[in-house]
Amino acid sequence: MALYENRERLVIFDADGTIIDAFHAIERTFLNHGMDIGDLERFQKRRKLLKYLGGLREFPTNLRRQFGKQSRKKLLATLTEIYRHEASLYPGIDSLLHSLLAAPDIRVGLVTRNVTVEPEETLKCLFRRHGINIDDFDFFACIPIGEEKTTQLKRARERFAINPARTYACGDEYSDYLAAIGAGFHPFVVAYGFEDSKRLSKDFGVPSEVISTSPAEFIERLRHALDLTIET
């Protein structure tokens, strides 16, 4: 009997920063509360613990306004509303997802550490505005902070009994790259989300060959890899 009985392929997306423009949703949230996280370029270069406290210019005000449980609760509520009613997918991602979800031999998954209130409902609202039903994904997982994505990627691959050589994982951070490699997936890494190309390649050693610097480049690479029509 063959080791793998089907010839399906599997592609799994990280949500925020890979297919969802999370930065501008976060930026609008902070501005609504009198805070500033700076521009995208500086945001991408900060270490994780400092991402949401801003740089030297923004740190004092942001720290003061975020201090206290009630302040954080209000910030989270605003972020949730912006995600549900204003945040968007990057240009061209909706068309890509429609193509993937319609392909009979491609399984499509979504993993997220989205921190909004009831993140599954939040993402349902966001995707619905782009004409996409989140229930159409073959795999969906909200991952708690601190849990490795590797486990969820392996779980999806094993559920569908797909050859690891026919699996792809797409993310925007070094941790996403490590999770993909650790789960036996081919990595697609984007450098327009939470980390830039220099940080990914120079600081973390992610091969430049797997890094896309724009949504258009990422979409073209993935469509080519999956033999989907390249839209012009």
191 vs 23, 37, 185, CA distance in Å? 13, 18, 19
Low-confidence winner among 54-63, 116-125, 187-196, 210-219 (lowest mean pLDDT): 54-63
Q: Identify the CATH number of the domain in which residue 214 sits.
A: 3.40.50.1000
Q: In the predicted model, is pLDDT for residue 111 greater than 50? A: yes
Q: Is the pLDDT higher at 140 or at 53? A: 140
d(CA 163, CA 165): 5
- Provide the mean pLDDT of the chain: 86
**Does some domain include residue 3?**
no
d(CA 53, CA 218): 29
Reported confidence tier of residue 231, pLDDT bands at 50, 70, 90: low
**Range(s) of the domain holding residue 66:** 23-85
- The reply to whether 154 and 216 lie within a common domain is yes
Q: Which tens digit of pLDDT belongs to each residue from 43-94?
A: 666 555 434 444 434 434 544 455 455 567 888 888 899 999 999 999 999 9
**Does some domain include residue 4?**
no
Tokens of 18: 């890979």
d(CA 89, CA 78): 19
Give how many domains the chain has, as a whole number: 2
